[in-house]
Structure 1
Amino acid sequence: MAKQLIFIIKSIAYGLALALLWLLFFQQNGQFQLSQLFSNHEAEPAAISYARAVRAAAPSVVNVYTVSTQQDPRSYQRRIIQNQSLGSGVIMRSDGYILTNYHVVNGADQIVVALQDGRQLEAILIGQDRMTDLAVLYVQATDLPVIPQQPNLEAQVGDLVLAIGNPLNLGQSITQGIISATGRAGLSTNTYTDFMQMDAAINAGNSGGALVNSNGVLVGINTAAFQRQRNLEVQGIFFAVPYKLAHTVMEKLIKHGRVVRGYLGLSGEPVINSAGERQVSTAQHFYGMKITEVDAFGPAAVSGLQADDILLEMAGVTLTSVGQALDLVAEAAPDTQVQILIERRGERMLIPTRIGVRSDTD
């Protein structure tokens, strides 16, 4: 009798388990279709979407509207004309600091920032830097939506990116592409060699907007499209300031109101050996930076550095590229002395050199 009872209980338990499996896996819209068990059709894969990344980053990308006035040069009378322009910006700190482009706000008499929640706020220009095409704005507000940031994030060629901005004042829009090339992340030049190249479309109004990765994390500040030359048709070449460079410039502008760069007064080229053979490919080993020209009145000349000297180390840092060398100089505090290891006609020597100040017009 006991064995029969145990058998009945086990049967009921098995039946309930099978019923539960039925409900979990074989019920669809309240009906089960036997043909589904024998179907060869695979489940449709989930659609690829970057909506989560956009939701994370888009609220912190703002529209920037500027108004500037000037005297009409075509008028004999003192007629004033008013110019309006637009761009984008990125909220970097919740206490009101916004990054945008220098060319978006340069010369503006009035700057208005429009948030994605509908608020419009008057902005103050904290500082601007022509060489990196960056500017910092401040709005009097708190708890602003901040763009996701990762200080140690290194963008790589081939990374998928999304450009967020306000093209042609159509409203916030997203374009997608990849990073095509990366440059140096430093403060040394005012050319696009410092910037990231990508193919996410940048149109008028996108400037100053955010370039984010597929997780919505900021990788750069959109700045410009490649300038067409003559009748050359150019497509898919756009630029952004790398995040690390943009963040460094922002902190300097907030602290000092301008970017102070170190200066030595020299130029050079990469070489692969002590004989000064020029490096023609990045596949070749970098030996040092050969000085090709020295400003006769610059700090380098004062310290005794000469043309054809090969720079090997600066302030104890082994040089790995010409860009790195120029960036170390640019980022050094002016009026500080650094030890520069050079090689001159086969002999190595340390040259103490005092860093000068680079003007914005250099």
Structure 2
Amino acid sequence: MFDSSVTQRAPMSFSDAIANAAPAVVNIYSTGYDNRPLLYRRQPVERTSLGSGVIMTAGGHILTCYHVIKDAEYINVILQDGRVLDAQLVGQDPHTDLAVLKVTEENLPVIPQTEIPDTRVGDIVLAIGNPYNLGQTITQGVVSATGRAGLSNYVSSANYADFIQMDAVLNKGNSGGALVDSNGTLVGINNANFKTLDNNRRIKDVAGIFFSVPYALAKRVMDDIVAHGRVIRGYLGISGSEFIDQPGILVTAVDPKGPAAAAGIRANDIIMKIDGNAIESAFKTLDLVAETQPGSELTFELRRDEQVLKTQVTITELGSNG
């Protein structure tokens, strides 16, 4: 028999977190046209894409995934209060699969943000988006692995090791939506689920493994796009590998048209210091270069055979070296 005198604990709920974050997560509908062959002529065929986005500023800047709006002619944004707005593309960054849109409207809800979220493995996270156009939907999971937020690792496609990995379910339409913590603070922009090949070499989704671009990186990309129309990454022009038992980076290849080659850096050189700072890891070194303003000079200290050399390298912009 139920004893009404026993005090009942309130059930655990994330409703406050959702109330804080969800109004700033929008539905995105984009329309484009594909020219498909039809007998002896090409017939334009309308193509629509479904996704989600996150209102980042009161001025109307929205973060979403690049693949959601790729090649779109028209982009519509629908807020949770029912407002339908036309959106303009400010810029995109295919390396991170992010894009920035702009809407002109007053009284926009802005998602809660903190400068550097302390996202840890085991944290509870909530994914907010519009899967299969069902309307705004919330899924819940835990962080399985945390990604680094450096620009350098996002210069190749599907580098999942650098994303936030979680088991909060993402489906078609969730791309570009918000990943928030249990307080409703943005920690990432939802991107994709893990895919692999089956025995017949067909692509298939893997259950329980989903990815989100870390907030710190997404915000940095957005700020660059808003300020410059693109993401500016420094470029050195080397490939390298770390040593197991000693500091430094072994240069394994050099782009002959890159700034490293122009400064005299060769394959088999060992980079020991940059601007007087000892090399801790290849990742941190590449991030330092990627985040260096093109045109800036960095002093590299190298070991070549038994010699210690110094050289000035003028960093260029990624993508500008032919």
Give the structure-2-normalised TM-score: 0.91
Matches within 5 A, 1:150-189: 150-188=114-152, 189=155
**Cα displacement (A) at 1:272:** 3.3
- Which position in structure 1 is the counterpart of 2:175? 207
CA contact (8 A) 2:28 2:50 kept: yes
CA distance, structure 2, for counterparts of residue 137 and residue 308 of structure 1: 44
Q: What secondary structure, in the 3-state scheme, does the structure 2 residue paired with 1:228 have?
A: strand
How far apart in 2 are the matches of 1:170 and 1:123? 21
Q: Which has the higher strand share?
A: 2
Deviation at 1:335, TM superposition (A): 1.8
Q: Name the CA distance, whole Å, in 2 between partners of 1:66 and 1:75.
A: 28
Cα distance in 2 for residues equivalent to 1:45 and 1:321 = 49
Deviation per residue, 1:326-352 (Å, 9 max, x gap) = 111111111211112333345544321
Is the alpha carbon distance of 1:327 and 1:348 closer, same or farther for their aligned partners in structure 2, counting shifts above 3 Å? Answer: same
Q: Secondary structure at the match of 2:197?
A: coil
Q: Deviations over 1:270-309 (max 9, x none)?
A: 21344xxxxxxxxxxxx23222211122211111222232
Give the equivalent residue in structure 1 for 2:229: 257
Q: Does 1:47 align with 2:11?
A: yes
- Measured after TM superposition, the shift of residue 116 of structure 1 is 0.4
Q: 1:42 to 1:341 in 2, by over 3 A?
A: farther
Task: Measure, in 2, the Cα distance between the counterparts of 1:123 and 1:91.
Answer: 12
Q: Aligned equivalents of 1:103 and 1:109: distance in 2?
A: 14
What residue is the counterpart of 1:11 in the other structure? none
Deviation at 1:77, TM superposition (A): 3.1
Return the offset for 1:109: 0.3
Task: Evaluate the alpha carbon distance shift between residue 324 and residue 45 of structure 1 in structure 2; reply closer, same or farther with a 3 A threshold.
Answer: same
1:252 and 1:351 map into 2 onto residues whose CA distance is: 29
Q: CA deviation at 1:43?
A: 3.4
Q: Is the 8 A contact 2:257 2:321 kept in 1?
A: no
Aligned in 2, Cα 1:294/1:361: closer, same or farther, shift over 3 Å?
closer
Indicate yes or no: 2:194 matched with 1:226: yes
In 1, Cα distance between equivalents of 2:235 and 2:86: 36
Contact 2:193 2:206 in 1 (8 A): no
AA aligned to 1:108 is: A
Contact 1:126 1:254 in 2 (8 A): yes
* Residue of structure 1 in register with 2:96 after alignment: 132
Cα distance, 1:317 vs. partner? 4.2
Matched, 1:342 2:302: yes
Q: Say which one has the larger Rg.
A: 1
Shift of 1:74: 3.5
> 3-state SS of the aligned residue for 2:225?
helix
C-alpha displacement of 1:171: 0.3
Shift of the alpha carbon at 1:181?
1.2
What 5-or-longer segments of structure 1 have no aligned partner?
1-35, 275-286
More helix by share: 1
Aligned residues: 312
Matched letter for residue 218 of structure 1: L
Is 1:192 the counterpart of 2:160? The answer is: yes
* Mapped pair 1:103 → 2:75: no
Task: For 2:119 and 2:50, locate their aligned partners in 1 and report how far apart those are by CA, in whole Å.
Answer: 28
In structure 1, what residue type is equivalent to 2:166? M
1:216-249 CA distances to partner (integer Å, 9 max, x unpaired)? 0000000111122124772211111100100000
Quote the Cα distance in structure 1 between the aligned partners of 2:278 and 2:291. 16
> How far apart are the structure 1 equivalents of 2:280 and 2:84?
47
The correspondence for 2:213, drawn from 236, 241, 250, is 241
Q: Per-residue deviation at 1:120?
A: 0.4
- Cα drift, residue 355 of structure 1: 0.6
Residues 260 and 357, structure 1, Cα contact 8 Å, conserved in 2: yes
- Other-structure match for 1:69: 33
TM-score by length of 1: 0.81
Name the structure 2 match of 1:118. 82
The alignment yields a C-alpha RMSD, in angstroms, of 2.1
Q: Deviations over 1:23-64 (max 9, x none)?
A: xxxxxxxxxxxxx8xx9x863332111111101000000000
